[in-house]
């Protein structure tokens, strides 16, 4: 990362800079690109102006040892992912992310260069998605790293999409493919265990590059929101897939007061995901339904929009909403199986480790 002359020989410790010096060091090369950002970093608060548009705000917190493992998560990837998962929540409202705020707490085991790497990932994500890094905070942590991100965005009032707007017979559509991030996580965990048992072992992740990247460096589906706008398709309900297809479909059908049916044969699963699942004796359908962290979009559209979406690459119609309550999977054998929410729950995961 290129910095100004004062950073040619940066101090090696965060303590040498202090809190305000650190903030300046990490953000002095930040540029503003959105008209809604009147004033960003440099005062007590950012100033935003959305005029006649609705403002969308979403925040997310990631804790070392709960949400990420730095033994296999590069800090630059973590910074990128921290930003992207917040952007994804804005896109899941059919809006556009425009500002991002990052809060960072680190223990004294982290060098200035390490924090630089993390922020390089944050800035890369902001550059890639056209989002302004508009503020944040830094502090010390007694143990490990804690990062919290807040994304701010906007959208036209009549186009913002909530979870509760689906109607009977609306189609359920998913973007991309599912289960890859979960399988990438399983491969990373397996390789870590092998390394701990034999530190001489050097993991070969090349055969798993697709699924590992889906876990370590996910992408948000801004492109889909832009496609919807260009083609005048307004979803009736929408959510991003952070906790697995099953959990997110249940969120939509319960919020809308309807039932939903998903067809197993329609669920998009990449062959590399299926291959890794077979290798680890897991069913790829389980990864797609319950794995999470795919950050694809799941949305409902009216039947009238079927001609617009039926042949679009990367969009899969996986089911429909019904007046009959309940969420069900229709298997390839035409069996009707109740869906259950088994996605990621940080509190349950913590309890299970006790």
Q: pLDDT per position in the chain (354 positions), as tens?
A: 334 444 555 545 556 655 555 555 655 666 777 677 675 555 555 667 788 888 999 989 999 999 999 999 999 999 999 999 999 999 999 999 999 999 999 998 899 899 999 999 999 999 999 999 988 888 888 889 999 999 999 999 899 999 999 999 999 999 999 999 999 999 999 999 999 999 888 888 999 999 999 999 999 999 999 999 999 999 999 999 999 999 999 999 999 999 999 999 999 999 999 999 999 999 999 999 999 999 999 999 999 999 999 999 999 999 999 999 999 999 999 999 999 987 544 434 444 444
* Amino acid 233: pLDDT: 98
Phi, psi (rounded to 5 degrees) for 248: -70, -35
Contacts of 250 (CB under 8 A, 6+ apart): 260, 327, 339, 340, 341
* Amino acid 351: pLDDT: 43
Asked whether the beta carbons of 299 and 305 are under 8 A apart, the reply is no
Phi, psi (rounded to 5 degrees) for 23: -60, -45
CATH superfamily of 171-353: PurM-like C-terminal domain (3.90.650.10)
* Amino acid 5: pLDDT: 44
Contacts of 111 (CB under 8 A, 6+ apart): 12, 13, 14
* Amino acid 15: pLDDT: 60
* Amino acid 41: pLDDT: 56
* Amino acid 137: pLDDT: 85
Domain with CATH 3.30.1330.10 in the chain: 5-155
Please state which of the four CATH numbers 3.40.50.300, 2.160.10.10, 3.30.360.10, 3.30.1330.10 is assigned to the domain occupying 5-155: 3.30.1330.10
What global pTM score does this model have?
0.86
Contacts of 241 (CB under 8 A, 6+ apart): 174, 178, 248, 292, 294, 295, 296, 297, 298
* Amino acid 138: pLDDT: 83
């Amino acid at each position: 990362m290129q910095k100004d002359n004062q950073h040619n020989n940066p101090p090696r410790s965060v303590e040498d800079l202090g809190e305000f010096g650190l903030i300046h060091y990490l953000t002095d090369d930040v540029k503003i690109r959105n008209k809604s950002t009147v004033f960003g970093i440099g005062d007590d608060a950012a100033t935003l102006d959305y005029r006649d548009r609705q403002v969308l705000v979403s925040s997310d917190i990631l804790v070392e040892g709960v949400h990420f493992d730095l033994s296999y998560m590069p800090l630059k990837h973590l910074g990128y992912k921290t930003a992207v998962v917040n952007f994804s929540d804005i896109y899941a409202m059919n809006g556009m992310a425009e500002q991002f705020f990052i809060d960072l707490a680190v223990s004294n085991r982290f060098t200035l260069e390490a924090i630089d790497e993390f922020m390089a990932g944050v800035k890369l994500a902001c550059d890639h998605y056209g989002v302004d890094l508009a503020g944040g905070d830094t502090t010390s942590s007694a143990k490990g790293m804690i990062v919290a991100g807040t994304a701010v965005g906007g959208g036209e009032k009549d186009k913002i999409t909530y979870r509760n707007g689906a109607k009977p017979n609306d189609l359920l559509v998913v973007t991309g493919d599912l289960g890859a991030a979960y399988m990438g996580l399983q491969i990373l965990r397996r390789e870590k265990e092998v390394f701990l048992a034999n530190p001489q072992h050097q993991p070969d992740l090349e055969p798993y590059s697709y699924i590992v990247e889906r876990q370590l460096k996910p992408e948000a589906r801004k492109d889909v929101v832009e496609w919807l706008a260009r083609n005048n398709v307004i979803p009736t309900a929408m959510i991003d897939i952070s906790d697995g297809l099953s959990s997110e479909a249940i969120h939509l059908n319960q919020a809308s007061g309807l039932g939903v049916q998903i067809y197993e044969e329609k669920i998009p699963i990449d062959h590399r995901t299926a291959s890794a699942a077979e290798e680890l004796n897991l069913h790829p359908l389980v990864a797609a339904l319950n794995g999470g962290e795919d950050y694809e979009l799941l949305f409902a559209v009216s039947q009238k929009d079927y001609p617009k979406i039926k042949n679009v690459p990367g969009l899969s119609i996986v089911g429909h909403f019904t007046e009959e309550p309940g969420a069900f999977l229709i298997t390839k054998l035409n069996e009707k199986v109740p869906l259950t929410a088994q996605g990621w729950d940080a509190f349950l995961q913590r309890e299970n480790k006790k």
